[in-house]
Amino acid sequence: MASAGLKPGVPVILRELEPSSEMFKQGASLRVTGSLQSFDVESATATIQDGSVSLKVDTQHLRDVSFRTNSVYQFIGELQIREVDDAILLARIGRNVDGLDMNLYQQALLIRRQHEAKLLSSRRA
């Protein structure tokens, strides 16, 4: 069902998901991207990696996504922080993004954030 109250999955780069980051919050709606390192069939947990940073993604609610190691995936969902350093993304959306230029994606994301910050400050003014 179309839920108007759904929060957008804010795109983040995996290395930004540190405990000190403002995005590292319980229940934060995020969009994460990384290549699939492993997939645990029993718990439906995927581990994605970008550079030297990895993140666990709970995919139990996803349908019609087939997982292939080393393919690039994007997930939208809510962050569940279990311990100080241990977090998992509870995915509600997942898709394969093989062919995505990660370098371009990350640079464009920074440009887009500057635009959003400008919009936010103009709204406050």
Partner 1 sequence: MDQPLHLVHVKILAADLLSLTVRHTSPTTFLRCGRRVARAELVGVVVSRDRREKFLRFLVDDGTGCVPCILWLNHQYLNARTSSGPSSDHDPTAEMALKMSEEVRLGTLLRVRGKIASYRGAIQITVRDVVPEKDPNSEVLHWLQCVRLAKECYDLPPRSAQGRT
Residues of this chain that interact with partner 1 (CB under 8 A) are 1-4, 6-11, 31, 62, 64-65, 74, 76, 92-95, 97-101, 104-105, 108-109, 111-112, 115-116, 119, 123
DSSP state of 7: P
Q: Which is closer to partner 1, CB of 60 or CB of 84?
A: 60
Q: Which is closer to partner 1, CB of 82 or CB of 120?
A: 120
Q: What angle do CA 34, 39, 44 make, to 5 degrees?
A: 110
For residue 100, count other CB atoms closer than 10 A to its CB: 13
Query: Minimum Å distance from CB 40 to partner 1?
Result: 21
The residue whose two tokens read 């103009």 is 122
Query: Minimum Å distance from CB 44 to partner 1?
Result: 16
Query: Minimum Å distance from CB 60 to partner 1?
Result: 15
DSSP 22-74: TT--TT-EEEEEEEEEEEETTTTEEEEEETTEEEEEE-TT--S----TT-EEE
DSSP 84-104: SS-EEEEEEEEEE-TT--HHH
Query: Minimum Å distance from CB 83 to partner 1?
Result: 27
Q: Which is closer to partner 1, CB of 14 or CB of 109?
A: 109
Q: Which is closer to partner 1, CB of 86 or CB of 116?
A: 116
